[in-house]
Amino acid sequence: MKNLIIASTSTLHKGSYLDYLLPELKVLFSEIEEILFIPYARPGGILHDPYTTKAAEAFRKIDKKIVGIHTFKNPVEAIQNAKGIFTGGGNTFVLVKALHELGVMQPLREAIFSGTPYVGTSAGSNICGSTIMTTNDMPIVYPPSFKTLGVIPFNINPHYLDPDPNSKHMGETRETRIKEFHTQNTIPVVGLREGSWLRVQGKEIVLKGKLTARVFEQDKSAYEIESGTLIDYF
């Protein structure tokens, strides 16, 4: 049975790394002492070791040990043997390129479907959808495929921002870009605002956090769903 937390971000403006999620993570990983960390997204170009150290410092607050996948000779075996998995945020294209080239995308999907507890933040949440085609990141590398884990029946747009009526910025809004995506694609998109997350248990997907999420479907007007909503209509 799938057992996931799919979060928009890992840091809120008034908190430290992962602080707002730690109570949820303590429950998710309640029966696990050691968690495999996937640092491939490299936010800001950070190297794997310091990124893993940052994650380890956060998980230490809930008495959990973090081990970076990059320290294993065989990353596929690391995924297969992991009791719990965390994929951090950063650049989604960099993350997906590494997952495909190291051959761990499919093993990661299989681990999640077999019930291995998983948490993804930002880029790590983007890969839970069918593709990364609704990410906000710049394509600074060229992955072999845009296809990702497909463990939920829609795509994610993390860090979703509403249009600012007072802004003088003349570029596209997030809503405009997602509508453009739907001129070529049919898969629904859920815009997750900062501090929101999806709790996935088996086939049940529930929006969590204090904010609403914005849902986009092809040929329909975008609409809001409240925290606590069961997303079972896709």
Whether 231 maps to a domain, the answer reads: no
User: 20-31 pLDDT, tens per residue?
Assistant: 999 999 999 999
Which residues span the domain enclosing 160?
3-225
Using alpha carbons, list the distances in angstroms from residue 127 to 92, 143, 168, 183, 200.
8, 13, 32, 22, 14
- 16: annotated active-site residue: no
Whether 232 maps to a domain, the answer reads: no
Global pTM reads 0.94
Structure confidence at residue 152 (pLDDT): 97
With both helix axes pointing from N to C terminus, report the angle between 105-113 and 92-101 in degrees, rounded to the nearest 10: 90
Q: Catalytic residue among 8, 137, 182, 196, which?
A: 137
Whether 233 maps to a domain, the answer reads: no
Residues composing the chain: 234
Split into its structural domains, the chain has a count of 1
Phi, psi of 120 (to 5 degrees): -125, 140
Task: Please give the structure tokens belonging to residue 39.
Answer: 């640092």
Structure confidence at residue 171 (pLDDT): 61
Whether 95 maps to a domain, the answer reads: yes
**Average confidence score pLDDT of the chain:** 94
- Ramachandran bin of 228, using left for φ above 0, alpha for ψ from -120 to 50, beta for the remaining angles: left
- 137: annotated active-site residue: yes
Q: Catalytic residue among 8, 10, 122, 196, which?
A: 122
CATH number for the domain that contains residue 68: 3.40.50.880
Asked if residue 37 has pLDDT above 90, the reply is yes
User: 42-65 pLDDT, tens per residue?
Assistant: 999 999 999 999 999 999 999 999
- 122: annotated active-site residue: yes
Residues with Cβ within 8 Å of 147's Cβ and at least 6 positions away in sequence, in order, are 130, 131
Strand order in the sheet with 65-68: 65-68, 34-38, 85-87, 118-121, 3-7, 197-201, 204-208
- How crowded is residue 115: how many other Cβ atoms within 10 Å of its Cβ? 11
Mean pLDDT of 204-233: 96
37 within 8 A of 55, measured Cβ to Cβ: yes
Structure confidence at residue 222 (pLDDT): 96
Give the residues across from 118 on adjacent strands.
Answer: 4, 85
Block residue for tokens 């945020």? 89
Mean pLDDT of 152-176: 82
Task: Please give the structure tokens belonging to residue 16.
Answer: 């430290």
**Up-side HSE of residue 23: CA atoms within 13 Å toward CB?**
4
User: Hey, CA dihedral for 68, 196, 92, 161, is it positive or negative?
Assistant: negative
User: 172-216 pLDDT, tens per residue?
Assistant: 789 999 999 999 999 999 999 999 999 999 999 999 999 999 999
Strands 213-216 and 197-201: unpaired
User: What secondary structure letter does DSSP report for 38?
Assistant: E
Whether 141 maps to a domain, the answer reads: yes
- Residue 220: pLDDT band with limits 50, 70, 90: very high
